[in-house]
């Protein structure tokens, strides 16, 4: 009963197998391995973007920070949600890499086009004194488990384009969103107006690989230099390539994401039936729900692992509603979920 995060489960067996297969003989280092050519081709194909620049790094924070640094200048500000990972969970890495600051677009889990437009307009009148407008960064799946519809994505990108600003998509849970929307990678990115995407794999069964994809190839060399300067270029790069290759083979990325979402739906259904309150409507593989402290205590005692959300287990009042975050990856079994639900 481990719902703490989608980075605490095991790596998918097909990925381990791919690592073993990759472990044969000699390969050029630093991204010149032959598997990387396949990966590049596959990603370009899946995104219907034959000219895209495709790179691999090992952490989501690296993907986001390097992508944003490449899209921005150090005298700019990046527009994002106050709930975004780049603001709350990356210990100033985006600022370190880009030199830019972040402007928090008011709102909760999602940015609205109205709020975005108002934030961008608000940076308008100060000439050289204020920071200049920089990229817009959108998180899909949001950090609260909700999903922007394609219409919502397009509307946000339209606002950015009205001000001639590039758009970055933090897709740490890209595939979870995509299969939920039933759309193509292209529809969720460049067709909507996205310029660069952090295409996550780690939270969906890989050991530690994220792709960064630029639909405009002109930033490619700058990205390569930024990656090396950030110490994120792997010498034994073939083992990043092999993971991503396995991910995109036999629909592993899709089946894993579908399984994670299905696991989450099963859990959510049970919670709903048990009377839990949902802080946000779960649309991908994360649930933010509240139920009585007494139930939390019973779950913890039974060995369930997950994070309370702005609350602590300690307390007298067993009726008090406490919020928590529950995350499912592909590896959670129906049994685990059902045991958990039985304890509610």
Residues 247-276 contacting its own copies, CB under 8 A: none
CB 330 within 8 A of CB 12: yes
Contacts to its own copies from residues 38-67, by CB under 8 A: 57-62, 65-66
Query: Could you give the count of Cα atoms lying within 13 Å of 132 in the half-sphere of its Cβ?
Result: 12
Q: How many residues bind its own copies (CB under 8 A)?
A: 73
Span from 71-79, 136-144, 174-182, 254-262 in contact with its own copies (CB under 8 A): 71-79
How far is the C-alpha of 39 from the C-alpha of 198, rounded, in Å? 15
Closer of 57 and 322 to its own copies (Cβ): 57
> For residues 340 and 325, is the Cβ–Cβ distance under 8 A?
no
Would you tell me the crossing angle of helices 238-247 and 13-22 to the nearest 10 degrees? Answer: 140
Decide if residue 27 touches its own copies (CB under 8 A). Answer: yes
Which of the stretches 27-35, 36-44, 158-166, 252-260 binds its own copies when contact is defined by CB under 8 A? 27-35
Site for its own copies in 181-240 (CB under 8 A): 202-203, 207-208, 222, 224-236, 239
What does R_g of the chain's alpha carbons equal in angstroms? 21
CA 223 – CA 64 distance, rounded (Å): 12
Alpha carbon 92 to its chain's center:
17
Compute the least distance from the CB of residue 275 to its own copies, in Å: 27
Residue 151 CB, shortest distance to its own copies, in Å, is: 30
Q: Which stretch binds its own copies (CB under 8 A): 12-20, 145-153, 190-198, 259-267?
A: 12-20
Q: What is the distance between the alpha carbons of residues 133 and 79, in angstroms, rounded to a whole number? A: 8
| Range 104-133, binding its own copies (CB under 8 A) | 104, 126, 128-132
Q: Is 29 helix (H, G, I), strand (E, B) or coil?
A: coil
CB of 77 or CB of 285, closer to its own copies:
77
CB of 227 vs its own copies, minimal distance in Å:
8
> Rule CB under 8 A: is residue 81 a binding residue for its own copies?
no
Q: CA 235, CA 233: separation in Å to the nearest integer? A: 7
């Amino acid at each position: 009963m481990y719902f703490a995060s989608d980075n605490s489960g095991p790596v998918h067996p097909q990925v381990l197998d791919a690592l073993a297969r990759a472990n044969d003989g000699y390969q050029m280092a630093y991204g010149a391995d032959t598997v990387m050519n396949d990966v590049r081709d596959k990603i370009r194909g899946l995104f219907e973007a034959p000219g895209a620049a495709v790179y691999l790094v090992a952490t989501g924070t690296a993907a986001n920070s390097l992508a944003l640094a490449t899209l921005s200048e150090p005298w700019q500000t990046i527009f994002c949600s106050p709930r975004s990972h780049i603001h709350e969970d990356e210990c100033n890495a985006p600022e370190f890499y880009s030199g830019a600051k972040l402007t928090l677009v008011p709102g909760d889990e999602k940015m609205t086009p109205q709020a975005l437009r108002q934030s961008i307009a608000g940076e308008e009148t100060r000439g050289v004194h204020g920071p200049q407008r920089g990229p817009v960064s959108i998180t899909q799946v949001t950090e609260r488990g909700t999903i922007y519809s394609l219409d919502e994505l397009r509307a946000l990108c339209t606002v950015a384009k009205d001000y001639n600003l590039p758009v970055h998509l933090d897709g740490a849970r890209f595939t979870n969103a995509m299969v939920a929307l039933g759309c193509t990678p292209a529809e969720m990115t460049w067709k909507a107006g996205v310029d660069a995407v952090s295409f996550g794999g780690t939270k969906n069964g890989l050991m530690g690989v994220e792709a960064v994809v630029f639909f405009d190839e002109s930033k490619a060399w700058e990205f390569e230099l930024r990656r090396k300067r950030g110490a994120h270029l792997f010498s034994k790069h073939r083992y990043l390539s092999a993971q991503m290759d396995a991910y995109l083979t036999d629909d592993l990325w899709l089946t894993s994401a579908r399984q994670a979402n299905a696991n989450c739906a099963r859990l959510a259904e049970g919670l709903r039936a048990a009377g839990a309150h949902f802080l946000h409507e779960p649309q991908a593989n994360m649930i933010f729900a509240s139920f009585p402290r007494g139930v939390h205590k019973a779950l913890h005692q039974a060995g369930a692992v997950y994070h309370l959300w702005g609350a602590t287990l300690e307390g007298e009042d067993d009726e008090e509603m406490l919020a928590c975050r529950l995350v499912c990856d592909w590896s959670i079994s129906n049994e685990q979920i059902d045991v958990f639900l039985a304890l509610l």
